[in-house]
Structure 1
């Protein structure tokens, strides 16, 4: 089976996974940069006690930033194949939807908020989850058979 390719040699699905992966890498890096992230002197390894805020909106910790970096690396690596890209987008989207539910169910001031998340994170996780699943499902349908 062949898929339509862009000028980069990647299918639109693979390109979407690559872009999402790069964005996660950037977010992971930006979470450590003073000025982009406020209160970096209060950046903790994990937990709701971390008062560092990416863009002054999203609560982050060292763990949270590392997860973004690893998620970004996974996207870049998995974008190399069509099935890897589809699995990354759909599977990653499901993970973010579960993270959205997790953020709704826990008290943000409790030890259960080890990631940490706040209301802005929760809504972003919902949008990311829905967007990634939609990209994986819609662009994944475009795979067509061609005759050799």
Structure 2
């Protein structure tokens, strides 16, 4: 009986000391800091740069599943941060992958082309926004 209790105590101690790690998948291409280079509006297909709008945006994704969004310039917004993971796009857009933000219960389809990250309109998980904007980011 003593051996069983001691074994359980040691196992509990070992488990308590083990570092927890997110089990949610992260696309290995995503971690890093990305700067907005162009926004293309869905309905009009008008493309504008941060220099034209006076508004800059950076996104930082970490390999451990956290992100930070900073918007500054003519229309600054509070920094946004939280958890994220990547997976199959639940919406019906052409992009196969999406970034999921579980704290906000939203998803954002994305793709990579020519070393740039293309993010599409963030939406409630499972919804599809037909004429949303596209945000093009370049790695810093």
Q: Which category describes the TM-score, using the shorter chain as reference length?
A: under 0.3
Greater per-residue strand proportion: 2
TM-score for both structures, normalised by structure 1: 0.24
Structure with higher RCO (Cα < 8 A, 6+ apart):
1
Q: In terms of Rg, which structure is larger?
A: 2
TM-score for both structures, normalised by structure 2: 0.25
Greater per-residue helix proportion: 1
